Structure 1
Amino acid sequence: MTIRTRTTAAVAVGALAAGAVAIAAPAVAEDKQPDGERGRIVAVQPLRTLTTKQDVARELAAAGFKTGEVRYGVDTYQLVYRTVDPAGRPTVASGLVALPRGGARELRTVSYTHGTEINRTDAPSMWRDGWAVGPALTYASAGFAAVAPDYLGMGLGPGPHPYLDVPSETTAALDLLRAAREFAPRTGHKLDRKVLVTGFSQGGTAATGLARALAGGTDEWFRLGALSPIAGAYDARRELLPIIGDLEPPINTGYTAYLLVSWNRLHHIYDQPSDVFEVDGIEQLFDGVHAGPDLADKLPPTLDLLLTDEGEALIDNPTGPFAAALAVHDATCTGWTPRAPVRLVVSGGDEQIRPGHTTTCQAAFAARGVRASIVDAGDLVFNGSTHLGANIMGTADTARWFRTL
């Protein structure tokens, strides 16, 4: 969960790529497509080809990622596919599929769900920088089919992003797997049915949500092969909200505002912005067009200056629909039993994700008789953040582990 504060161009959906207007939200959302349409491909756009493993290594190194698992060149594609919104209505989403240029015809599949972004062009399939695609390139170059959903409302998907909404993160990730399975034969490949699931930060709980769905037989073909989420916020109510105000600005106020705005759209936790925000114009920041620098310019440095008394009370003591939504978010490790290897990857020095997140998840699995190991990937500092470093080190470690399975 990290809000990057680098400059990102503000680009409207219709200008993102040729043909984007043809997949605008209203025409699709009004379709009464059957459930069997979920995961069907709407459009495919070839992206970059990194012809050799040296090309991949250069790309990864430039983005700060490790190169030890590089084995092949990589072909990348943007898929636009049919899925459902948080209310179950038909919509479309986009995502990245990265395939190795060599190796086996039948590929083991890695699903990687990304961390917090506020600008839709920072999603993996938009390839604005190496950070967004680094994990997918790592897994594909190691010989896997890498599948990285943009999430709803990111990339070419219509509407605002339903931030930290595990149910819609799960459907977006699962439906991209279905689209990737349909697409793979066009490249001479097929996908193995067992999915190796990982993700970082926001994508950590998205990964455990997807793993739960796969383990529960939600899809007729895909099954859970292994789970290795990285620095996930599995216990946001007890481990994140109590410290969120202590994080550096604009991370502190950015996370808080993003969460409240997004969940109000989904669950109606306040009547009007002035009920919870002292500052005008907060909701407009989270439209998928604004970027990190906009948050730094607009948001005050502390929660005291951002939130009204009602807003502070909501964060300090969640009640009502907000508490109910937190309970859903924080339940991705509970109530199900993985029948596949599970590791929980952390960085011991992570300034944002405390150890309690992971021990809570581990304990939930242990209560079901599942031994989930905790792996400390080390304390790499990237762009001033050990949390960001966890993605780099955790991706390298997870790629190595997946190759041993």
Structure 2
Amino acid sequence: MNFHKIALTTLAGLLLASCGGNNNSLSSRGDLVEEPIEKSTQSISQLDSVTSENGLQVLTGPAICDVRVLQINYQTPGAQPGEMSNASAALFVPNGTDPACQGPLPLVAFARATNLEKARTNAMDLSDPTAMLLMTFFASQGYAVVATDYLGYALSSYPYHPYTHADTEASTVIDSIRAARNAAPSLGLTLNGKVMLSGYSQGGHAAMATHRAIERDYADEFNLVAAAHLAGAYQVSQSLIDGVENPILGVQYFVPFQITAWQKVYGDVYDTASDVFNVPYDGFIEELFPVVHYPADLTQLPAVATVPAEARDEIFKADYLEDLATNPDNGTTIAAKKQDLLGWDPIAPTKLCSGSADPVVRFSLHAQAAYDDFRSRGGDNVSLVDVNSTIEALHGDVLTNDPATYYKNYHSSYEAPLCTWEARKFFDQYK
């Protein structure tokens, strides 16, 4: 199973009308828009069957609790000052007779990896990679979990997703915690007040942005006891500059998504799309992500199997790439620097996890750089785990016989469960 694949679900229903800005006060952040929606219950036997089939039970352990899967819809700010909208989230609630399932329970707030499908929700069953990891590693072991879908996805009425935008990632995760607390009484869920943060890939960036915001602005509201940031891009600006020479797998999706999102947030990243993108992409790229007609609309872009450098050159103008690599006043670079997450000091115990051969989120640019930055100012509460040796031990035959497949799967499949395991072991010390 691909633990971080682009979901193949179809559009489940009409999105709510765009609310842009409305009359809701910022004081309503985290308020529920409607009653929680019960989606399913995954039994202990179902959970154990999946972890046995995928060889994960050695990491997860046998399930202790059934898991109720609910969808919540809550109020949260948009990207512009004073703007309110809504976002949805999955709420995974342990259920069963074992005392570990009954509470009071700690709450894990989890931010998911990049997904290109607008209808995508975390409130899924065990067939979904993200939902499966959250249920088997956390909820089945006595953690309540809330996992935001972000602005612009699933039930959110927001007209776009502010991709890799630190401020709205943080506000959306923070308000998911509030929403989970608001939903808890009607669900018979008793929380112990302890909050833990985690996320993978884009979610690693979102979780770290949330961590910084909570300790800076909301320390009196949230008892943040631990954080585990997994394979996230913490130096976004350096990623883009490095990506000119070393484009990542999926450059034709992720980088245009970032740039066009920042243009919608800030309005001054570029003058026109044709300043950045080649014909015909300049004519539709600004409205493509996240994708409504998935996966059909992605056929307008170079195929996922395209060599990254060739995909980069097909999408982007050569003079734009040169300016991005060399000009510190490039509009994209200025916007990207606002998303960088170094230069602050975590208070809660913090674990960083990544793999040093990750071809998508480079270890040295992100996990290692963040660790070195935090430790340089005495951050002895921050640890770093490199899971590369375990990945090689488990999948070395693929590396030997089919290196292209190995590196294609590294970030999307091999790394995610191992870093989730590191997060669970870490959180077990503080629950």
Which band: TM-score by shorter chain?
0.7 to 0.9
Give the C-alpha shift of residue 155 in structure 1: 1.5
Distance 1:141 1:404, change over 3 A: same
Q: How many residue pairs end up in the alignment?
A: 390
Match of 1:157 in 2: 156
Counterpart Cα distance in 2 of 1:63 and 1:156? 31
Match of 1:54 in 2: 45
Distance 1:279 1:123, change over 3 A: farther
Counterpart Cα distance in 2 of 1:265 and 1:126? 30
1:95 aligns with 2:103: no
Give the C-alpha shift of residue 122 in structure 1: 2.6
Give 3-state SS (helix, strand or coil) of 2:422's partner: helix
Contact 2:60 2:421 in 1 (8 A): yes
Counterparts of 1:379-394 in structure 2, within 5 Å, are 379=391, 384-388=408-412, 389-394=414-419
Distance 1:248 1:170, change over 3 A: closer
1:398 aligns with 2:423: yes
Counterparts of 1:139-218 in structure 2, within 5 Å, are 139-158=138-157, 159-218=159-218
Give the C-alpha shift of residue 212 in structure 1: 1.2
Match of 1:352 in 2: 360
Counterparts of 1:305-316 in structure 2, within 5 Å, are 305-316=314-325
The residue type equivalent to 1:146 in the other structure is V
Counterpart Cα distance in 2 of 1:82 and 1:219? 21
The residue type equivalent to 2:60 in the other structure is G
Match of 2:76 in 1: 83
1:36 aligns with 2:27: yes
Contact 2:235 2:342 in 1 (8 A): no
Offset from partner CA, 1:115-158 (integer Å, 9 cap, x none): 11111223313559421312321211111110101110011112
1:237 aligns with 2:237: yes
Counterpart Cα distance in 1 of 2:64 and 2:4? 31
Match of 1:303 in 2: 312
Counterpart Cα distance in 2 of 1:373 and 1:41? 36
The unaligned stretches of length 5 or more in structure 1 are none
Contact 2:6 2:117 in 1 (8 A): no
Fraction of identical pairs, as percent: 26
Counterpart Cα distance in 2 of 1:31 and 1:48? 33
Counterpart Cα distance in 2 of 1:260 and 1:75? 37
Q: CA RMSD in A?
A: 2.6
Give 3-state SS (helix, strand or coil) of 2:356's partner: coil
Give 3-state SS (helix, strand or coil) of 1:189's partner: coil
Give the C-alpha shift of residue 248 in structure 1: 6.2
Match of 2:401 in 1: none
Counterpart Cα distance in 2 of 1:316 and 1:292? 31
Offset from partner CA, 1:34-57 (integer Å, 9 cap, x none): 222100001221111013x22123
Contact 1:95 1:148 in 2 (8 A): yes
Contact 1:215 1:223 in 2 (8 A): no
Contact 2:6 2:115 in 1 (8 A): no
Give the C-alpha shift of residue 75 in structure 1: 0.5
Give the C-alpha shift of residue 398 in structure 1: 1.3
Residue range with higher mean Cα deviation, 112-121 or 182-191: 182-191
The unaligned stretches of length 5 or more in structure 2 are 396-404
Give the C-alpha shift of residue 310 in structure 1: 3.9
Give 3-state SS (helix, strand or coil) of 1:97's partner: strand
The residue type equivalent to 1:170 in the other structure is A
Distance 1:248 1:320, change over 3 A: closer
Give 3-state SS (helix, strand or coil) of 1:25's partner: coil
Counterpart Cα distance in 2 of 1:245 and 1:6? 29
Counterpart Cα distance in 2 of 1:54 and 1:313? 55
Give the C-alpha shift of residue 296 in structure 1: 4.9
Give the C-alpha shift of residue 239 in structure 1: 3.9
Offset from partner CA, 1:189-211 (integer Å, 9 cap, x none): 22233311110011111111111
Distance 1:240 1:385, change over 3 A: farther
Counterparts of 1:316-331 in structure 2, within 5 Å, are 316-317=325-326, 318-330=328-340
Offset from partner CA, 1:84-113 (integer Å, 9 cap, x none): 101130101100110111324211111110
Give the C-alpha shift of residue 298 in structure 1: 2.2
Give 3-state SS (helix, strand or coil) of 1:234's partner: coil
